[in-house]
Amino acid sequence: MDTATLLLVTILLPLAGAVALWPVAALGTRAVRWTALAVTLATLLLTVLVIWDFYPDHVASTEREWTWLGAGEQIQFGIGLDGISVWLFALSALLMVTAVLVSWEAIDDQVPQFYALLLLLECGCLGVFAARDLIMFYVFFEFTLIPLYFLIGIWGSEDRKYAASKFFLFTLAGSLLTFLGLLSIVWWKAAYVAGGELTFSIAELAAAVQQAAGTPRAMSPGFQAVLFAALFAGFAIKVPLFPLHTWLPLAHVQAPTAGSVFLAGILLKLGSYGFVRFCLPLLPDATYLFAPWILWIAVIGILYGALIALAQHDLKRLIAYSSVSHLGYCLLGVFALNPLGLQGGTLQMVNHGLSTGGLFALVGMLYERYHTRDIQQLSGLARQVPRLAFFMLVFTLSSIGLPGLNGFVGEFLVLLAMFQRAWQEPLPGWGLHLKAISVLAVFGVVLGAWYMLWLVQRVFFGPLKHPSGGHDGAPPRDLAPREILALAPLAVVMVWIGVAPNFFLRPMDGPLREVEAAVARPLQEGLQNREPVAEKRPQTGLENLTRAR
C-alpha cells in the first residue's frame, strides 16, 4: 500500500469505527469501550506508519488527488501531509487515545453514541490536517463542530446547552466568513490568472498568488485586506484571539473531559493552522499589512489571558484562560514572519496541544475523585494521589516552558524570532511597537509560571484538604494503569520534543520556508521602500475588479 492510500485509510478508519460501534453496542458498553480504544490505537499505529514513510520530507509521496464532482477535472479532492500538518495530524491521533481512555469510567450514559461522536471528531480533525484543497479543508473544518457540539451539549456539566450553542454559533459565524473569503480567492484565480481554470488546490492557489505577484493581475491590497478580514474572522475565533475568546472558557468548563482535551489539544489549533496554511501564502500583502496589529492582539491576549487565569478558582477555567495566553505565542511566532518564528509557532501548536490536553485530562481525573474543580476546596492532594501529582507537575512544567520539556523550545524560538523581527528587521514604522511587543511577550512567561505554580501549590501541596474524601469515605485511589497509559505517552513526547526538537523541526523546514518566501516579497519591498505598499498600486480592489471585467 502506498503512503497516500495509507493516509486515506488512516483518516477513514475512525469513521468506519464509528459506524461499527452501532452493531457493537448490542454487546454492551464494555465492548463499545474496547472497540473504540482498538480503533483509536489502530489509527495511531497507522499514523506512525504514515510518518515513518513520510519522514523527513517526502511530501510528494503522501499526496493524492481524486476528481470530484465529475464536472470536468477542475474540482479535485486531495489529501496529503507536509511538515506543517504532520505533527498536528499525529497529535490528533495521539490525543484521541487519551480522550478515549479518560472517558472510560467518566461516561456512563449513552456510551455508544459518545464514542461514536469521539471517533467522528477524530476523523474530522485528521481530515482537516490532511486536506490539500479548500473544499475538503472547509468540509472537515465544519464537520469537527458537529460532534463536539453534541459532546458538550449531551455529556457536559450543568450549563451545557448554553455553552454548546454559544460555541457552535460563535465558531460557525466566523467560519462562514472564512469560507466566503476562501471562495473569493478561488474565484480570483479563475478570473484573473492565466490558465483560468477553477481550482481548489491550496498549492496551486499559492503558486498562482506567487506568480501573479507584482503584475497587474495580482490581488490588490484592498481586495486582499477584505479577504484577510474574512479569513481572520473564522480563524481568530477558532484560535481564539482576544477579544473573541469568550466562548472558550465556557465550552471548556462545561465540556466532558474528553471534549476539553480534544478542544484544547486540536480544535484550537485549527485557527492558528489556518493562518499558516492560508493567510500567509495566499494573502501575503495583507499579512504584511496586518502583521503588527495581529502581533499586538496576540501579546495583549498573552497578558490578558494570563492575568485572568491568575484570578480563577475553577481548575478548568484557569487552564482555559491559560490557553488563551499560550495560543498568543503561536500567533506571535507565525506573524513574526521569519523562519524561526514560523517553526517555533508551529511547534508551539503541538506543544500546547500536548500540555493543555494533558492538563485537562488530569483535571478530569481529579474531578472523578473529588467531585470538585474548586481550587479553594482542595489542598495537599500529593499525599493521596502522588502519581497524579507527578503528572500534574510534569504537564505544568511543560506548560510554563521549562527547558528540557517541549514548551520551552516553542516559546524560545518564538520569542527569539520576535526579537529578531523587532531589532533586526523591524517593519517600517513599527520598530518601537515590535520592541514593546517582544518584551511584553517575555514578561508573559513570568505570569504564566505564576498562575500555574500557584495552582500546583494550592491543590497538591500543603496540608491535606478535600471536600468529600471519595465516594464512601475511603481515600481516592491513585492513578490506575489505564490512566497512566493515557498520560504517559504525552509525557514521553514532551520530553522527546524538549531534548531533541530537531527531529520535529526538520520536516517543517521545507514547507514553512515556502510560506515564508511568500511573505518575503512584500516584506522586502516594505523594508526597502519604507513606503506604504498601497501607494505603488493606487487602484483599489473594486476598481481592479471592475477594470478586469
Partner 1 sequence: MDDPIRLLLILIPALPLAAAVLIGLLGPRVLRQQSHWLAIAAVLASFLCSLLLMRELSFLQRAAGAGGEVALGIGYEEVRRLWTWTDVADAYQQPRTPPGESRESLVGGGSRDFRIDIVLRADSLTCMMLVMVTLIATLVAIYSAGYMHGDPGYWRFFAYFGLFVFSMTMLVSVSNFVLLYVFWEAVGLCSYLLIGFWYQKPAAAAAGKKAFLVNRVGDFGFALGVFLIWTTYGTLNFHDSLRGGELEPARIQQAVAAERAGEVVPAEQEPVAGVFGPLRLADNELRPAGQPRTSAMISLAICLLLLLGACGKSAQFPLHVWLPDAMEGPTPVSALIHAATMVTAGIYMIARCTPLFLVSPDAQLVVSVVGGFTALLAALIALTQYDLKRVLAYSTVSQLGYMFLALGVGSLAGVTAGMFHLFTHAFFKALLFLGAGSVMHAMGNVIDMRRFGGLRRVMPVTYITFAVGCLALAGVFPLAGFWSKDAVLGAVHDKVHELEPHDSDSHGPAPHGPAPHGPAPHDSSPHGSAEGGGTQAVERPESSADDDVTPVFGLSNLLRGQIFHWLYLLGLMTSFLTAFYTFRAFYLTFHGPELIPPEAGRHAHESPASMTVPLGILAVCSALVGLLLDRSYLDGTNSFANWLLWTPSLGFPAAMRTTLPGEFHLSVAGWSTLMALGGIGLSSYLYLGSRHEIHGIRQFFDLAWVSGWSDVESFARMRQWRVARWVRECSAAVGLEWLLRLVVGALLLVVLVLSAPLLLLYYVSPYKLSYHRFYLDELYELVLVRPLRGLARLCYGIDRWLIDGTVNFVGRVPRQIGDVMRSLQMGLVPFYALAMVLGLLILLAVQLLG
What are the DSSP calls for 234-286, one per residue?
Answer: HHHHHTTPTTS-THHHHHHHHS-HHHHHHIIIIIHHHHHHHIIIIIHHH-HHH
DSSP state at residue 70:
S
Cell of 267: 480544535
Cα distance between residue 166 and residue 324, in whole Å: 17
Residue 505 near partner 1 by CB under 8 A: yes
Closest to partner 1 by CB, 132 vs 317, is 317
Nearer to partner 1, 509 or 514 (CB): 509
Please tell me whether residue 483 adopts helix, strand or coil conformation. helix
H-only helix segments in 402-501: 406-419, 431-460, 481-499
Q: Based on the shown chain and the rule CB under 8 A, indicate whether residue 164 belongs to the binding site for partner 1.
A: no
Number of CB atoms found within 10 A of residue 64's CB: 18
Is 480 near partner 1 (CB under 8 A)?
Answer: no
Q: Which range, of 256-264, 275-283, 326-334, 437-445, touches partner 1 by CB under 8 A?
A: 437-445
Backbone torsions φ then ψ of 75, nearest 5 degrees? -90, 120
CA-closest candidate to residue 309, choices 291, 327, 292? 327
CA distance 491 to 358: 8
Interface residue with partner 1 among 93, 186, 308, 332 (CB under 8 A) is 308
Burial status of residue 356 (CB atoms within 10 A of its CB: 0-12, 13-18, 19 or more): buried
Size of the site for partner 1 (CB under 8 A): 59
Q: Does 287 engage in binding with partner 1 (CB under 8 A)? A: no
Contact between 79 and 60 (Cβ < 8 Å): no
Complex with partner 1: residue 129 or 247, whichever CB lies closer = 247
Instruction: Kindly state whether residue 177 participates in binding partner 1, applying the rule CB under 8 A.
Output: no
Which of 187, 195, 461, 492 lies at the binding interface for partner 1 (CB under 8 A)? 461
Q: Which of 397, 494, 515, 518 binds partner 1 (CB under 8 A)?
A: 397
Q: Judged by CB under 8 A, does residue 432 bind partner 1?
A: no
- Contact status: 485 vs partner 1 (CB under 8 A): no
- Residue 307, interface with partner 1 (CB under 8 A)? yes
Q: Is 339 in the site for partner 1 (CB under 8 A)?
A: yes
How far is the C-alpha of 456 from the C-alpha of 124, rounded, in Å?
34
Residues 467-498: b if buried by 16+ CB within 10 A, e if exposed: eeeeeeeeebeebeeebbebbebbbebbeebb
**Distance, CA of 498 to CA of 24 (rounded, Å):** 41
CB of 501 to partner 1, least distance (A): 5
Q: Does residue 351 contact residue 406 with C-beta atoms inside 8 Å?
A: yes
Which stretch in 58-66, 118-126, 189-197, 302-310 sits in contact with partner 1 by CB under 8 A? 302-310
C-alpha cell at 126: 485528521
Per-residue contact string for residues 438-457; x = within reach of partner 1 by CB under 8 A: xx--xx-xx--xx--xx--x
Which of 68, 104, 143, 412 binds partner 1 (CB under 8 A)? It is 412
Least distance between partner 1 and beta carbon 523 (Å): 11
* Closest approach of partner 1 to the CB of residue 282, in Å: 23
Burial of 537 (0-12, 13-18, 19+ CB in 10 A): middle
**By CB under 8 A, residue 403 contacts partner 1:** yes
Q: Which of 383, 477, 482, 536 binds partner 1 (CB under 8 A)?
A: 383
Angle between helices 145-155 and 111-130 (to 10 degrees): 150
By beta-carbon proximity to partner 1, the closer residue of 367 and 412 is 412
The one among 76, 85, 201, 312 contacting partner 1 by CB under 8 A: 312
Chain positions 231 to 260 lying near partner 1, rule: CB under 8 A, are 243-244, 246-247
Element (H, E) at 178: helix 160-192
Per-residue contact string for residues 356-375; x = within reach of partner 1 by CB under 8 A: --------------------
Closest separation in Å from C-beta 91 to partner 1 = 19
Say whether residue 343 binds partner 1 (CB under 8 A).
yes
Binding site for partner 1 (CB under 8 A): 166, 169-170, 243-244, 246-247, 304, 307-312, 338-340, 343, 380, 382-383, 397, 402-404, 408-409, 412-413, 415-416, 419-420, 423-425, 438-439, 442-443, 445-446, 449-450, 453-454, 457, 460-464, 499-502, 505-506, 509
